[in-house]
Structure 1
Amino acid sequence: MAEKFKVESPHVRYLKDVIEADYNYDTTQVYEEKGVTKVANYYGSLFQSSTVCLGTGPAGEVFVPFRDLLPMVNPNDIVFDGWDISSLNLADAMFRAEVLDWQLQEQLRPYMEKMKPRPSIYIPEFIAANQEDRANHIIHGTKAEQVQKIREDIQDFKKTSEVDKVIVLWTANTERFCDIIPGVNDTADNLLKAIENGLEVSPSTMFAVASILEDCAYINGSPQNTFVPGAIELAIRHNVFIGGDDFKSGQTKIKSVLMDFLVNAGLKPVSIVSYNHLGNNDGKNLSAPQQFRSKEISKSNVVDDMVESNPILYGPNEKPDHCVVIKYVPYVGDSKRAMDEYTSEIMMGGTNTIVLHNTCEDSLLASPIILDLVLLTELCQRITFRTETDQEFQTFHSVLSILSFLCKAPLVPQGTPVVNALFRQRNCIENILRACLGLSPQNHMMLEHKMQRSFVSLKRPSTVCSPYPISIKKGNTVVNGFHPPSISNGLSHSNGLGKTMISSDIEIEN
């Protein structure tokens, strides 16, 4: 048998009379939703479903997918694992959540029912009492033993799944806020001692400590103050990325856009009232006062930097009246209703009122944000840079503030400004990725179209302008199966400190 050739593979076995082969058959399934055929997509993902302007060419502006600017992990290659205080496998949890259409659930069940979460940490006083009936899958023992078990789970997952990196992301219930207590959580050493001595430390902070000690980036997707000063100091000490807080998916994302528009248009918002009702388990947990307070703080602070940016409209310590209401209504399930009223003062003593009604599919809006947080964090782990005065390359600060676009209450390094304006946050991500390619920041001037005699030549079809002519050729280096471009643009990058050198697995010619 097999006289012409032979396949050397652990998945193929040559026997006397037969050839046995292990073969995974992959197919793309579609499903119908309300009579319309649907195909799986990543709508809602910044990197998978949006584009950026690379520059201008003979046919006008050239847009490319965000994910193609730099070599990024394909979300289809991510391996998932996790913890939950509920023992349900993911298929049964999917059924209980009532988020996906039934036909889609039936197609997913054979894959989801094989996935079961690992036991998790349950400390009743940190979440609402109405969650107790779900807590049947918990890690017992002291706080130190629980943290050690999480570390062992991370080690086991990395070994058995054979992944290159592990990034841990908190998507669990909103916890109450923790008091910052000197001697308990104010320093890294005190926090570690507090865990050893069984003092007050929240489950999300315990997960953060375990992740940091395992050299795994940790992202907080809920609004509580997971990153107490001791946790931040521990991350900096171990040079591990942390980020958060609270996924920015629906009402708050609109608020950051609308407030930016109103203030920059010279209108003065004086009253913002936001009302929500939802019926999923998140809403059930938030019906408890302490957990609601965590969310209220997260939602309220989103307008601060925009107010402070305009001293013409607002005096010192002046802010709009801002009220946030969240109610639990089981019937609406995951389909959250968000209603907002924005009242602004306008010219000649008048007022302008904008009222919005937003029906938010809560979990489906958050899911692509979860992917983006992981993808951007992983990319940042591969980027280093230095100025011409530095001898060595450095990484981003452990508090990864570039994630701000995806978070309601952005975590930033101490003493640095907090930016909530959505488009400024997006421009930050885009321009940092452009810098890794040696491209100038996107400034939207389009000056070449605003002059009598343009200084940019668009004759060569191979030329892209941003706004300087750059030629793009295929590079020789292959990174993660991706052929990164070599770019020659003759630009001298200056940030006031001299030239900046950036290494991001990209071959750059200057």
Structure 2
Amino acid sequence: MEAAAQVIVESPDVVYGPEAIEAQWEDWTTRVSPEGGDLKVPRLGVMLVGWGGNNGSTLTAAVLANPLRLSWPTRSGRKETNYHGSLTPAGTVSLGLDAGGQEVFVPFSALLPMVAPNDLAFDGWDISSLNVAEAMRRAKVLDWDPAASAFRLHPRVHRGQPHPGLLEQIRKDIPDFRSSAGLDKVIVLWTANTERFCEVVPGLNDTLGLEVSPSTLFAVASILEGCAFLSGSPQNTLVPGTLELACQRRVFVGRDDFESGQTKVKSVLVDFLISSGLKTVSIVSYNHLDNNDGQNLSAPLQFRSKEVSESNVVDDRVQSKPVPYTPGEEPDHCVVIKHAPYVGDSKRALDEFTSELMLGGTSTVVLHNTCEDSGLAAPIMLDLLCQRVSFCTNADPEPQTFSPVLSLLSFLFKAPLVPPGSPVINALFRQRSCIENILRACVGLPPQNHMLLEHKMERPGPGLKQVGPVAAACPVSNRKGPVPASTSGCSGDASGHPQVEEPQMPTT
């Protein structure tokens, strides 16, 4: 392997000398002290295309059940309502360090004023005539008794009966919902079945002319009504003409395909393997499930939509590594999805990752994942409810918003849409850091760099208090010393394994 060319930084803060590189750098670590504050947020409504499907009915039941604080017994103990799996109410972000040098974490929802999930209002469309409670029972994702209680006891659902998805009614349904429910904003979210890929034909859907697929019709209706549209399925809903319309109307759009379980794990593991210097050469993904998704994806044309979105999740990691990949080289990537009615919504996924090591060695990692598919996807929808942010720059003092193409939401999609000429980022850590740092910027905090330089100095600065015992100047572990007590209360090592007493060797 040839040595990489040295990087030269041209900056007045960097000086290259014959024996050393001298650099000036300003530490932006934030000191945190608690304060109070409150800002009003708008009343928000969500219209789900496919409201009676597994994802839509599961999400609705969760939002209805949480304000009631329902609990119910199961064979593994008593369960309570929560929003586990949703970034904004359940995820946390580091603010900085307190006076003792310890990191301070707060929920995402505490960083900026956000709509509380419990305050959402729902409406939507579906090809099924079942009301949402009956649709949820049919989906068999949730235990019926607590979910049914939520529908009986809570009046949150605006109608409970999905509208038929008739073209002439779509635009009328949106303002009707907004006015009758007393809403400030409405977001339209496609959570219906995967469609086949729409062929982009010159003169047909590359302009503002005729749109052809049902999801594109809903997207155009949403844009014309000034409502953000987000696609949770992998088909190419946002064809060029639709994007052009969104940019003209300055309405937010985002896509494609919720990234919840198997694909999110794939993004993390490939990032780890390639970042470790390994050359991942083969990725094979297999899964089977039932529900509407599994049945629909058994059709070849619909499966092709899913295959495209699943296969693109590692591209940016490969392209970022000119070593060891040569230009144009990429791993073999195979995706298989099968319909298995018996397993229901309990998706079974198997992934195999093969990587090359030095001197011709190979490493293979195999993962098996069993999960409730809709239970993973439903909380993600809560994070798609993006509020508008305005900002200006020194070069352009006129306030502006983000691009109508919401690439900020890449963390939540398998095949994120980005503005023309922008890089597509699939690495999960970079995607989440983007959201975190933009939210930090909105409240005047510097980007999070994870350096924690103050904890890596030989002599900590005067503003940092030492907490706990101070380590020796050269903390070399004593292998013959006592083993730390087990955190589990068991005798043995720190992992709870029993320790075999070492034989006493005779001395001479």
TM range (shorter): 0.7 to 0.9
CA change 1:364–1:345 in 2 (3 A) is same
- SS of the equivalent of 2:337 reads strand
Quote the residue 1:447 is aligned against: 453
Aligned to 1:127: none
Which residue in 2 is equivalent to 1:132?
A: none
- Aligned residue in 2 for 1:82: 124
Match of residue 168 from structure 1: 188
* In structure 2, C-alpha distance between the alignment counterparts of 1:44 and 1:456, rounded to whole Å: 40
Shift of 1:27: 4.8
Q: Give a deviation string over 1:191-224, Cα, whole Å, max 9, x none.
A: xxx15xxxxx100000000000000000000000
Residue in structure 2 matched with residue 241 of structure 1 by the alignment: 252
Identity percentage over the alignment?
A: 64
Moved over 6 A (4+): none
1:366 aligns with 2:377: yes
Cα distance in 2, alignment partners of residues 51 and 293 from structure 1: 36
Q: Does 1:274 align with 2:285?
A: yes
Q: Which residue of 2 aligns with 1:226?
A: 237
Note the 1:316-331 alignment, pairs <5 A. 316-331=327-342
In the alignment, which of 212, 217, 222 is matched to residue 223 of structure 2? 212
Q: Find 1:430's aligned residue among 403, 427, 436.
A: 436
Residue matched to 1:149: 169
Distance apart, 1:110 and its partner CA: 1.9
Query: Is 2:78 aligned against 1:37?
Result: yes
2:400 is the counterpart of 1:419: no
User: Aligned partner of 2:201: which letter?
Assistant: I
1:177-202 alpha-carbon deviations (Å, 9 max, x no partner): 111111111122x2xxx15xxxxx10
For residues 36-63 of structure 1, give each alpha carbon's deviation from its aligned partner in whole angstroms, at most 9, with x where no partner exists.
1111100001111111110011341111
Query: What is the CA deviation profile of residues 442-500 of structure 1, one whole-angstrom value per residue up to 9, with x for unaligned ones?
Result: 00111111223334613699xxxxxxxxxxxxxxxxxxxxxxxxxxxxxxxxxxxxxxx
Give the counterpart letter for 1:434 in structure 2: R
How far, CA to CA, are the matches of 2:360 and 2:463 in structure 1?
50
**Structure 1 residue 34, shift from structure 2 partner:** 2.0
CA contact (8 A) 1:90 1:116 kept: yes
- Tell me: CA distance 1:45–1:27, structure 2 relative to 1, closer, same or farther (3 Å): closer
Contact 1:58 1:460 in 2 (8 A): no
Distance (whole Å) between structure 1 residues aligned to residue 83 and residue 68 of structure 2? 18
Which one-letter code corresponds to 1:50 in the other structure? Answer: G
Runs of at least 5 residues in structure 2 that lack an aligned partner in the other structure = 1-66, 468-508
Q: 1:100 aligns with which of 127, 142, 159?
A: 142
* Aligned residue number for residue 152 of structure 2: 110
Count of aligned residue pairs for this structure pair? 397
| 2:121 partner SS | coil
Alignment equivalent of 1:288, drawn from 299, 311, 336? 299
- Matched residues in 1 for 2:108 and 2:311: separation? 30
Cα pair 1:405 1:422 within 8 Å, conserved: yes
Please give the secondary structure, in 1, of the residue aligned with 2:123.
Answer: coil
Asked if 1:119 is matched to 2:160, the reply is no
Deviations 1:224-261 (A, max 9, x none): 00010000000000000000110000110001100100
Distance verdict in 2 for CA 1:93–1:349, change over 3 Å: same
The answer for the alignment partner of 1:63 in structure 2 is: 105
| 1:404 pairs with 2:410 | yes
Aligned to 1:203: 214
8 Å CA contact 1:150–1:207 kept in 2: the answer is yes
In structure 2, give the amino acid aligned to 1:104. Answer: P
Greater CA drift, 26-35 or 362-371: 26-35
Counterpart contact for 2:68–2:150, Cα < 8 Å: no
TM-score (normalised: structure 1): 0.76
Unaligned runs of 5+ in 1: 1-25, 121-138, 140-145, 196-200, 462-510
Q: Give the Cα separation in 1 of the matches to 2:461 and 2:245.
A: 52
- Partner residue, 2:90: 49
1:344·1:353 contact (CA, 8 Å) conserved in 2?
Answer: yes
Checking the alignment, whether the CA contact within 8 Å between 2:70 and 2:146 is kept in structure 1 is no
Report the Cα distance in structure 1 between the residues aligned to 2:169 and 2:403, rounded to whole angstroms.
Answer: 28
